[in-house]
Structure 1
Amino acid sequence: MKNYKYIGITFIILIFGIWAVPKIVDRFSGNKVAMTVIGKVPSYQLTNQDGKLISDEDFKGKVYVVEFFFTTCPTICPEMNENMTKIQDEFFGNPNFGIASFSINPEYDTPEILAAYAKKHGISHPNWHLLTGERDAIFELANQGFNLYAAYNPKVKGNFEHSGYFALINKQGEIVSRLDEYGNPKGYYDGLDPKDLNMLKSDIKKLL
């Protein structure tokens, strides 16, 4: 009986080892980047630049990038969306890629305003949705849902302040992050940093 017991334990260890090796290789290989889930995308339903209702369900099965912005932003938004347009162009022909840009000034950013903004800034990917709705719901989505800061502040230029980071979402509707060399999640991607943008492109390709 003891021999059978040891054979059983050996078999379990062998099976576990076969399963675990690819995970270890993926985590530590210099040729691959390990990624992890850091959150789940909350439910939402907002209106895009074409006047169409878009929800988180519309992005299921797609890899997409999330940002918070507003069309009259006088500071970081123009550069963020210039960089986002480059990401759009990189994956333009891929129907499984998308972008969700949430306006934090929805009272001004109507679908008509967003459509004009899209045209002006070369936003043409069919899965790039500029989204507007109720401000409190969008602020909750930013701050609690995606952990990307957004707030109204009449003391700052433009009256709003927000994070300049992009969130990456996988096909399962999860917020994902690459791990650094110490095994810690990087979190988000700086929308103003060329190095981060290159990492983002690489990670999108990995998820696609």
Structure 2
Amino acid sequence: MKNKSYVWISFIILIFGIWAVPKIIKKFEKSDLVLIGPAPQFELLNQDNKVISNKNYEGKVYVLEFFFANCPTICPIMNQNMLVLQKEFYGNLKFGVASITIDPTNDTPEVLKEHMDELGVKLPFWNMLTGDSKYIFDLSKKFNLYAGQNEDSPGGFEHSGLFALIDKEGNIRCRKDEFGNPILYYDGTSDEGVQMIKEDIQLLLND
């Protein structure tokens, strides 16, 4: 009788196990992030009038954006969302931010330094970068992150609100959308985009 009960219980466990397997959700891992390719190289001046290049970010996971200090539209939102990332990863010396101005005529190192102080930037490897206007616009094209002058736009410039995620090896990385397609960049103006990049930064830092 005991043997029959044991066989019956084992059968139930087996059936339940087979039913439950499809229900198990695989944990999202670094390998699930798409490797887009090497990020374009750059060399610019930061808020301390120091030359900074992509080489300064080697061995770090970092987020790159294009912005300008006097932007009256999406930049304030992007700034606040970047501060969310600062709060999340503050103290981790393997994380950094590169904010490149598209208005270098006005955004001198001194102006950028003041802008950082106003925002409350404390992250050691957050550089606000400026340089030659043509060089910067060419760089935005290489990243495929739109930026341009437009007298009809508020502030005289327009640009995407996207964040680029770059891994420790200098490669652009991203997750896939619900259809399995790479999203390429993260929406720096939405809570959803910030939550996604926050999760993916952590994956890359854990490597």
- Which residue of 65, 69, 77 corresponds with 2:63? 65
The secondary structure found in structure 2 opposite 1:158 is helix
| TM-score (norm: length of structure 2) | 0.84
**Which residue does the alignment assign to 1:110?**
108
Tell me the alpha carbon deviations over residues 30-53 of structure 1, each in whole angstroms, 9 at most, x when there is no partner.
321511111321121100001111
**Which residue does the alignment assign to 1:167?**
164
The secondary structure found in structure 2 opposite 1:46 is strand
**Which residue does the alignment assign to 1:158?**
155
Q: Does 1:40 align with 2:38?
A: yes
**Which residue does the alignment assign to 1:100?**
98
Larger radius of gyration: 2
Q: CA RMSD in A?
A: 1.3
The secondary structure found in structure 1 opposite 2:37 is strand
The secondary structure found in structure 1 opposite 2:155 is coil
The secondary structure found in structure 2 opposite 1:167 is strand
Rounded to whole Å, the distance in 2 between the matches of 1:52 and 1:46 is 8
Q: Does 1:188 align with 2:185?
A: yes
The secondary structure found in structure 2 opposite 1:184 is coil
Rounded to whole Å, the distance in 2 between the matches of 1:74 and 1:30 is 42
**Which residue does the alignment assign to 1:30?**
26
| TM-score (norm: length of structure 1) | 0.84
Tell me the alpha carbon deviations over residues 69-122 of structure 1, each in whole angstroms, 9 at most, x when there is no partner.
000001110110011011011101000000000000001100000000000001
- Which residue of 74, 77, 83 corresponds with 2:75? 77
**Which residue does the alignment assign to 1:120?**
118
Rounded to whole Å, the distance in 2 between the matches of 1:30 and 1:101 is 34
Rounded to whole Å, the distance in 1 between the matches of 2:188 and 2:116 is 18
- Identity value in percent: 49
Q: Which amino acid is the alignment partner of residue 180 of structure 1?
A: D
Tell me the alpha carbon deviations over residues 15-43 of structure 1, each in whole angstroms, 9 at most, x when there is no partner.
xxxxxxxxxxxxx9532151111132112
Rounded to whole Å, the distance in 2 between the matches of 1:192 and 1:128 is 19
Q: Which amino acid is the alignment partner of residue 91 of structure 1?
A: F
Structure 1 position 169, deviation (Å):
0.2
**Which residue does the alignment assign to 1:5?**
none
Q: Which amino acid is the alignment partner of residue 31 of structure 1?
A: K
Q: Which amino acid is the alignment partner of residue 171 of structure 1?
A: K
- Unpaired stretches in structure 2, ≥5 consecutive residues: 1-23
Q: Which amino acid is the alignment partner of residue 27 of structure 2?
A: N
Rounded to whole Å, the distance in 1 between the matches of 2:76 and 2:126 is 16
- Unpaired stretches in structure 1, ≥5 consecutive residues: 1-27
- Paired residues, what number? 180
